[in-house]
Amino acid sequence: MKRATFQLLACIATCITVINGQQTRPSITFAVSTVKPSQSQGWRLQPTLNGYTAMGVSLFQMIQEAYGIYQPDRLSGGPAWIDASKFDLEAKMEDADVSVYRGLTLEQRHQMLQALLADRFKLVVHHELKEFPAYALVVAKSGPKLHAATLEQTTPDGDIKGITGLVTQSQRGLLAVQGFSMEGLASLLSGYGDVGRKVVDKTGLKGRYDFTLRWAPNDRAITASDASGPSIFTAIQEDLGLKLEPSRTMLDTIVVDHAEKPTEN
């Protein structure tokens, strides 16, 4: 009965009720959470199989992760230290509840991190829609050059990275995927500095596909070996039969109304 009750809570974790402009917290929370000032020279922020781990990150970066908004100009407000002070963070589920956590969607996990920031940083935010330059991902005149994925290669929606498909290789100038949707590709491209804008899927393609994309990154020194490599825009058209067209779109932005530095654990 206890397990059934917890699973029911997992199903309703995405239901957020807005009352007087404030959001209620999700029903599921992390069993253990630690936040402390960081002396690290580098930084890391990533989901784990049972929560989140972060080292040397700012509250600005944690808010980006918690709300899935990674373009800096879509986050504003807050105290002066929001992007200057660095913290280490660990958030974990109880061992007995890890299997339930893995079944949550990316949005449910984001809501748990939002609740943690509200609790530890006294974070209060509100949303505003603003228009931004974007790219529309469309089918090129030559037609798509995509290979349909087999059923065995696809992965269910709501995996730990929130991408509708499996990334088999990801590094500078190389992306290889299996069972990927066009919505997933647009989402992934939106986070690439070589693209630099939000990408919206306008291909009309509803299947899942396997493909490899290679390009010459535009923000590093080009060596003789990759001087002839295509830009990511050219590679998308030549390798995938798709195209990025300049567009504009309304995007959600986060405005920080209040935040406090957390007390040490």
How confident is the model at residue 23, as a pLDDT? Answer: 46
In whole angstroms, give the CA distance from residue 235 to residue 157. 27
Query: Six-digit token pair at 164?
Result: 């509708």
In whole angstroms, give the CA distance from residue 186 to residue 199. 5
How confident is the model at residue 13, as a pLDDT? Answer: 36
Helix (H) or strand (E) holding 90: strand 87-92
How confident is the model at residue 265, as a pLDDT? Answer: 63
Q: What is the distance between the terminal CA atoms of the chain, rounded to a whole angstrom?
A: 34
Residue 193: how many other CB atoms lie within 10 Å: 10
How confident is the model at residue 260, as a pLDDT? Answer: 97
How confident is the model at residue 25, as a pLDDT? Answer: 44
How confident is the model at residue 164, as a pLDDT? Answer: 58
Q: Could you tell me the residue ranges of all domains in the chain?
A: 2-127+253-258, 144-240
Cβ neighbours of residue 259 closer than 8 Å, sequence gap 6 or more? 59, 78, 79, 82, 121, 122, 123, 124
Q: What is the pLDDT along the chain (265 residues), one digit of tens a residue?
A: 433 333 333 333 333 333 333 444 456 788 888 999 998 888 988 888 888 899 999 999 999 999 988 888 999 999 999 999 999 999 988 887 788 888 888 888 899 999 999 999 999 999 999 999 999 999 999 999 998 987 554 444 434 344 457 888 888 899 998 888 999 899 889 888 899 899 999 999 999 999 999 999 986 544 444 556 899 999 999 999 999 999 999 999 999 999 999 987 6
